[in-house]
Chain A
Amino acid sequence: MNKRTNAQTHKRTRILIAKPGLDGHDRGAKIVARALRDAGFEVVYTGLHQTPEMIVSAAIQEDVNAIGMSVLSGAHNHLFKKVIELLKEQDASDIIVFGGGIIPEDDVSELKKYGVKAVFTPGAKTTDIVDWIKANIK
């Protein structure tokens, strides 16, 4: 059992922006990280080339409310699902998972079934992401 206490220790919503897998495209992740920071959230950015294990461990250690993952390499199905499974295993399913990237419509519905709460695809505004977090992550 992990002993996370985010509701008690942090007033502000904490978000982990993560780049899982080997994909090096970080323009979107960095823009979202900045936009969330400018919107008043506490943002932790993992940097590139993270395994699902590294991401889940960072999320727990950093005591975040949500993980936002960005994948542009086509490996989203495998990686997003792995992160959700690991969160379950670690008894940390209260951490909300959302994502974005080059993700075809068919895969979006599949990922949502699996527990990814929102998927932002090309053309999404950072303000859409901010609004969604405000509405869905407490």
Chain B
Amino acid sequence: MSDFTTISSKKIKPLYIEEDLKGSDPKKDLGKPGEFPYTRGVHETMYRKKLWTMRMFSGFGTSEETNERYHFLLGHGQTGLSVAFDFPTLMGYDSDQERAQGEVGRCGVAVDTLADMETLFDKIPLDKITTSMTINGPAAVLLAMYLAAIEKQGHKISVAAGTIQNDILKEFIAQHAWAFPPEPSMRVIVDMIEFCTKHVPKWNTISISGYHIREAGSTAVQELAFTIADGIAYVEACMARGMDVDSFAPRLSYFFNAHIDFFEEIAKYRAARRLWARLMRDRFKAKDKRSMLLRFHTQTAGCSLTAQQPYNNVVRTTIEALAGVLGGTQSLHTNSLDETLALPTEKSVRIALRTQQIIAHESGVVNTIDPLGGSYFIEKLTNELEEEAVAYIKKIDDMGGMIKAIEIGFPQREIADAAYRYQRQIEKNEKIVVGVNDFVIDENPSMDLLKITDELQDKQIERLKKVKKERDKASVEKTLSNLKKACEDGSNVMPPLIECARAYCTQNEMMAVMKGVFGEYHDPAIF
């Protein structure tokens, strides 16, 4: 039945022996945890000193409903926040715009102004808890609102700790929540990095993401290679601005998928750490050890879950989460069993969080660092994934770098091909998905699902109306005009954006100014 390949169609041998590691040198290629090339982990002590951050990606309805969910999660032992915005917010629209209708609060929380950001974190101390925000096209705008919300809580913006996804290259490649064309997008990102390096030193300025590349259907190697190639492009852009590599590189972080093919995933994380460390030291001449560390967040694979027999998804998520932990992740999101049907209910989110807690506190896997290190199989797989990724990166370098590669549709096409290939494998039963193409039952899909009503959209539009009525119109106009000036004259956009946020400018007001200067990106619609 099985052809003994991974989910990425990588051939696996029946047995791995000492000879498979001929030519590799454990001292040079593995080292100790916390030592170059960090194959075995970024910290010397790993989970013995501090567990990964349990960070559930969450958001729906208005900021009030989501704030309630955050308190629920923190009350059940979650240790960090992760904001899911709705599609209008992700695409830079306000809730009262025509393009937003039917989408407000559906797939995440609606944030139109600073007022929503204040409500979102009501009674959550932002000087103590770390927050991750999944936002890309309008990332600079949402970061400005977040920093203004911290000021409203009575803190300096320098206390902010957390991560903003801010990875526009993978938006062009896979997730598609973009705003401006590639060049001005990169300029805004470098502005943000420059600003945070000086003023928000604990902030991770980009979460360079393979997650969405994988969800779009890539193989494990493609996820690894394209993500690291994106990382290279960001480092080059910052260095081109004249920044010293060690001034910003320690605040770059990564975000990978945890798919169902257990060992391939573990090898992927280990290869990623080694590859990045070598690139940073040898190619970019980083001196600071922290610049070489690939710290990463993991999310289990949404695309591996099935609508059929949905309780089986708990098992899939457990296997995937375990791969993330054995691969040395710094934070983890576990998907809920009902997410192929709707956003998760409280009950199903709690099971997903408990999955992490059981791995952390019952399974014993945290007792020792990199427990699979030294396995012939894992080390060979790690070597192979690194080599294959290096070959892809070389190809992209030869094209003139990732931005050029995106412009000619290279990564997009590679991913679409891989996605189609996998779909064919499933339809021909060459790969088995339990409950979908084998072990199928007649079932009555009756589950309590989270319902997001049209009333929440109305409520959000009312909230926005109130803010617009109460704010000072003169400061709205003045701050927006300052923003326009900065976009045009090339000065850093962050200070004027924070001014706009403080004046309760709406997201779209800020984005419209920026799009007016920078232009807009549209889908080339290749399939």
Contacts and interface: CB of A to CB of B under 8 A. Distances in A.
Nearest to A121: B307
A40 interface: no
Interface stretch (B38-46, B187-195, B336-344, B359-367): B336-344
Contacts of B99: 22, 51
B87 A23 contact: yes
Contact of B307 (A31, A47, A123): A123
Contacts of A33: 527
B303 interface: yes
B359 to A, nearest CB: 26
A26 B176 contact: yes
B524 interface: yes
Interface in A17-37: 17, 21-27, 29-31, 33-35
Contact of B101 (A29, A48, A74, A78): A78
A54 to B, nearest CB: 11
A27 B308 contact: no
A47 B106 contact: no
A22 to B, nearest CB: 4
B522 A47 contact: yes
A127 interface: yes
Contacts of A122: 306-307, 340
Residue from A30, A43, A47, A74 having most chain B Cβ neighbours under 10 A = A74
Q: Chain A interface: which size bin?
A: 35 or more
A41 interface: no
A42 to B, nearest CB: 13
B312 interface: no
Given A31-B420, A104-B449, A75 B87 contact: yes
Contact of A126 (B87, B308, B423): B423
B217 interface: yes
A26 B343 CA distance: 19
Contact of B525 (A23, A46, A102): A46
B342 A75 contact: no
Contacts of B436: 123
Interface string B506-527: 0000000000000000111101
A122 B91 CA distance: 25
Contact of B103 (A75, A104, A123, A125): A75
Nearest to A76: B102
B90 interface: yes
Nearest to B338: A104
A121 B217 CA distance: 17
Contacts of B180: none
A93 interface: no
A27 B87 CA distance: 17
B437 to A, nearest CB: 8
Contacts, number: 104
B315 to A, nearest CB: 17
A26 B427 CA distance: 19
B307 A24 contact: no
A133 interface: no
B445 A27 contact: no
A48 B176 contact: yes
Contacts of B445: 105
B215 interface: yes
A22 B103 contact: yes
A102 B341 contact: yes
B51 interface: no
Contact of B306 (A17, A35, A79, A123): A123
B90 A22 contact: yes
Contacts of B88: 22
Interface in B388-445: 416, 419-420, 423, 426-427, 433, 435-436, 445
A73 B419 CA distance: 20
A25 B307 CA distance: 17
Given A22-B99, A45-B527, A122-B306, A104 B342 contact: yes
Given A24-B177, A123-B436, A74 B308 contact: no
Residue from A26, A29, A125 having most chain B Cβ neighbours under 10 A = A26
Interface in B76-109: 87-88, 90-91, 93, 99-103, 106-107
A49 B423 CA distance: 24
B272 to A, nearest CB: 23
A90 interface: no
A77 interface: yes
Nearest to A45: B527
Contact of B416 (A25, A30, A102, A121): A30
B197 to A, nearest CB: 30
Contacts of A48: 176, 523, 525
Contacts of B175: 24
B452 interface: yes
Contacts of A51: 99
Residue from B171, B340, B433, B452 having most chain A Cβ neighbours under 10 A = B340
A22 B249 CA distance: 33
B216 interface: yes
Contacts of A75: 87, 102-103, 106-107
A27 B303 contact: yes
Contacts of B426: 125
Nearest to A31: B423
Contacts of B176: 24-26, 48-49
B340 A22 contact: no
Interface string B280-316: 0000000000000000000000010011100000000
Nearest to B308: A123
Residue from A22, A46, A47 having most chain B Cβ neighbours under 10 A = A22
13 contacts: A22-B100, A23-B107, A27-B419, A30-B420, A48-B176, A48-B523, A49-B522, A74-B452, A82-B102, A102-B340, A102-B342, A104-B342, A123-B306
A-B CB proximity, top 3 nearest = A78-B102, A47-B525, A24-B176
Given A22-B88, A74-B103, 11 more contacts: A22-B87, A22-B103, A30-B416, A31-B217, A33-B527, A47-B522, A75-B103, A75-B107, A105-B445, A122-B340, A123-B435
